[in-house]
Structure formats: structure tokens, C-alpha cells
Amino acid sequence: MLFCKNCGNQISKEAGFCKNCGEKIVIPLKWWEKNKFFAWFRKRILILAGFVVLVFIILIVIGQNYQTGGVEISQTTQDEISQSVVNILCPSTVQGEESSGGSGTIINEDGLILTNSHIVPQDKTNLHVDETGCLVVLPDPTSGQPKDVYLAHPIVIPDLSDKYDLAYMKIYSAYYDEDKKQYAGEYPRKFPAFDDTKRCKNENVQLGEPVRIFGYPAISGGYTLTITDGVVSSFPGDGLIVTSAKISHGNSGGLAIDKYGCMLGVPSMVSSDEAESLGVIYSMDLVRKFDNEVTTYVNSLK
């Protein structure tokens, strides 16, 4: 609280003149404000403190990027990607042969799914699935838990699927239990198709760049969507990408993306020794070659 030295009227710190007598108000400096060294030190300690805070923030951001493999996509984008990666289970018609399954990615709104051919029970001449086909489970994108269940026919292209180990699934119905009660999901509907056309900034895959894998590996139970991170570890040739991101049985047919959410390829194999394992991705070069040859094959049938 301040008072005018001339008339004793109470004044505020912001006032330049006393409202009562008009006397100019001069507020005396504190001792640390008069001391030039202290003023110099105080100014620089504030600058230093600001610099320390900035460095701390930068380290947090770098740490987060390191922990996530440097993937920069937002949570919203990750949810959009997650809902397009499905779990696949194909019961075998051959007695004694176990059911097979893996992962897949919805590639159009009609329910067409890209996956690996080897997850479909088959021999060199026949598919070991009946007219019901395979179960396809869509996840809750935020939790990864199973949500909607559908039925799909596997589409294995003669010779080409064996050559590229790639195939399709086509959803044709919602799944119903034995009491003819719909289990989950609506059909027909528009399915959440993967679309990276606005996210692909550079499709030239480079050694050491971040990789994120989406799928349903058995190691995490096989029923919930699982995400792992790593980097591009090597290019062994033949259109393959080796990654440090964890891939195991059940990941086959899933999705590999770069840090922008652009598709890198299809996780398909594991390369391992007694101590460690690395994942193998079929690159987009192989996917595009397969797609082009399938188009040529379909056109030849017309």
C-alpha cells in the first residue's frame, strides 16, 4: 500500500500522479533493482531457466519418438488404420488338419481384404474350406478387442497366390450363431478400408526408418489387435524388407506402415535363430506386382 508524500492520500502503484494534489509519484527502487550486478545476473538466470525448460521439452519429444519407433501419426490416424486390420480364422474341412488363420487389411469399402495365401488351409490343387469360408473379425480401434464378426470367401488366385504368397478375402455376410442370432456387425455396409493416399510422403523405403506392425500374433493371444514398432533392418532382396519390429505367427497377412501411416507392405514371415528373431515384410513392390498380374489374369478370363 502506497501514500502520497505530499498530501498523504492513498495511491496505487500504477498511478503516475496523485489524484488529490497532482504530485508526481516516484516509487523508490528496491536494493536488488539498484544493484547492477544482481540485475545482470537475474536477467541471465531467467534466460538460462527458459533454455533448460526448452531442452527438457525437446528430450521428452525425442524420448517419445524413440519409444514408438519414431512413428509420427496421430491417435486419430492410428484409430483409422486400426479399424481396417482384421483377424481371420479359416476352419479346415480336412479331418485332423488344424484351423488356420492370421491377419488381413480391408482394401475397399465392399469388404475386399488383402492377406497372405498361406493362412488359408489348402494343398497344391484345392482349398480346404467349405462354402461358409472364413471368419473375419473387425476390432474396436481404440482397445483392439474383437467387435464385429463377418463371413468371407477366400480368393486364392491359381499360381499367382503361390508365387507371391498373397490372396484376398471377400466379406459376404454378417456372422450368425447356431440360433440364427446375429453375433455382431451389420451387413451390407461400407467397411473401413485402409487408405493412405493422402499420407504417403515418400515411398522410397530407407534403411533404419521407423516401422509399425498391425496384426493378431499368437504371442499376444491371437484375438486382439496388437501393434509393435521397430525399424527397417535390412533389404535381403526379392522385394523383402527385414524389420526389428516383432512379428510372430498370426501377424501373417497384416499391415506394415511407415511413420506417416503409408503402407510399407504385408508382414508375412519370421527370420530367427536361437537367440533372436526379425520380421519379414513383403514390400509394396511385390503387392503391386501381384495386383497387376491378378488384373491381367482376370482380364484373360473375359
Nearest alpha carbon to residue 283 among 248, 257, 261, 250: 257
- Report phi then psi at 164, rounded to 5: -105, -5
Grid cell at residue 17: 500522479
Cβ proximity of 121 and 127 under 8 Å: yes
Residues 6+ apart with CB under 8 A from 133: 90, 151, 152, 153, 154, 169, 172
Could you give the dihedral angle defined by the CA atoms of residues 168, 102, 209 and 163, in that order, rounded to the nearest 10 degrees? -50
At 176 the pLDDT is 83
Distance, in Å, from the CA atom of 22 to the CA atom of 5, rounded to the nearest integer, reads: 11
Taken in order of first residue, the domains within the chain and their CATH numbers are 77-184 (2.40.10.10), 210-297 (2.40.10.10)
Q: State the burial class of residue 92 (Cβ atoms within 10 Å of its Cβ: 0-12, 13-18, 19+).
A: middle
* Three-state SS annotation for 228-270: EEEEEEEEEECCEEEECCCCCCCCCCCEEECCCCCEEEEEEEE
The SS3 assignment for 218 reads helix
Nearest alpha carbon to residue 188 among 170, 201, 162, 204: 170
Distance, in Å, from the CA atom of 30 to the CA atom of 173, rounded to the nearest integer, reads: 81
302 residues of the chain, pLDDT tens digit each: 566 666 767 666 666 666 667 666 666 655 555 555 556 556 666 676 666 666 566 555 444 444 444 667 899 999 999 999 999 999 999 998 888 999 999 999 999 999 999 999 999 889 999 999 999 999 999 999 999 999 999 999 999 999 999 999 999 999 987 666 656 678 899 999 999 999 987 778 999 999 999 999 988 888 999 999 999 999 999 999 999 999 988 999 999 999 999 999 999 988 766 667 799 999 999 999 999 999 999 999 88
Secondary structure letter of residue 24 according to DSSP: B
Alpha helices in the chain (DSSP H): 31-34, 36-67, 75-82, 160-164, 284-300
- Report phi then psi at 214, rounded to 5: -115, 130
The SS3 assignment for 101 reads strand
What predicted TM-score, i.e. pTM, was given to this entire model? 0.75
At 226 the pLDDT is 97
